[in-house]
Amino acid sequence: MNEQVGRVALRPREVHFDFTASPLHWIPGEPIASHAISGLNLILPIGERGFVEMFRRALPYVADDELREQMIGFMGQEAVHAESHNQAVWEFLQRHGIDPEPMMTEAEYLFDRAIARLDTLPEQLRHRVVVQMLALIAGLEHFTALGGDWILNQDFEALDADPALTDLFRWHGAEEVEHRSVAWNVARYFGARRPRLVTLYLGSSVGLPAGLIAVAWWLTRKDPTMPKIGPVKVFREIGSGIRRGVLPPWRLIGSGFASFVRSDYDPENTGDTGQAVAYLAKSPAAKLAHAS
């Protein structure tokens, strides 16, 4: 049940993660599950950079002071998320013999090209593309809120998971729950209608899990401690991890879509703000940042 804590002023938080003692298979005995979740470190930075860019372009058109405040807080949090996952990519993966540079360089190149192409469009068309992207982000943020709620409630301690990686994903998940309504409010402010929102969400419901599975396979192939296995076996192993309760269940996607298409959909019904804020207050990364 969603605890009523009143409106929370969104703000980026100073955090510091220390991955020096974190093993590559940070969930013991679960190498594929570890890579499946660690894949977020490769996917999220470029996506969140895109979220910030689209919100930055939309902000001058927003006259509602409260929504502007929410957008600025959202942008700050997403920027810190991207930076923190980049830290995990470079420090954590390279320490364990996995070089993410080719993949990350290619992703950055494609992102920069897309933004450069956007800037060549006539102003009216450019604005329409930004609004389309805001509608996509609204769906993706519902997806990340579902994942954030799962991560907050997953008993990683019972799995003896690494504390630093656990904190990274829980801290991120908590902020996803905390700001879960912002992208939806922005998309609706710019006139995104439900058919467009639902269509784009359906696409993200297929595309994002597929991307995470592909990245998990890439990490497995680059893992110097594991035999080279094909994507089908990785998919099967992920399914096995889901059945063991180590990874989020497939039904999470279905229930998320069912809630998103309802005419009375409200992002606030996903997750618990009180739980999210409580975790953010005790996050070891926040305490480490304040102590340093």
The mean predicted confidence, pLDDT, of the chain is 91
**Residue 204: pLDDT band by 50, 70, 90 thresholds?**
confident
Q: How far apart are CA 55 and CA 174, in angstroms?
A: 21
- For 277, residues 6+ apart whose C-beta sits below 8 A from its C-beta are 5, 8, 174, 178
Digit-coded pLDDT (tens) for 111-166: 999 999 999 999 999 999 999 999 999 999 999 999 999 999 999 999 999 999 99
Nearest CA among 275, 228, 283 for reference residue 80: 283
Using DSSP, state whether 176 is helix, strand or coil.
helix
Q: Which two tokens stand for residue 262?
A: 């309802």
Q: In the predicted model, is pLDDT for residue 6 greater than 60?
A: no
User: What's residue 205's pLDDT?
Assistant: 83
- For 247, residues 6+ apart whose C-beta sits below 8 A from its C-beta are 33, 36, 37, 238, 241
User: What's residue 76's pLDDT?
Assistant: 95
Q: Tell me the pTM.
A: 0.92
User: What's residue 209's pLDDT?
Assistant: 87
Cα-Cα-Cα-Cα dihedral sign, residues 78, 167, 213, 221: positive
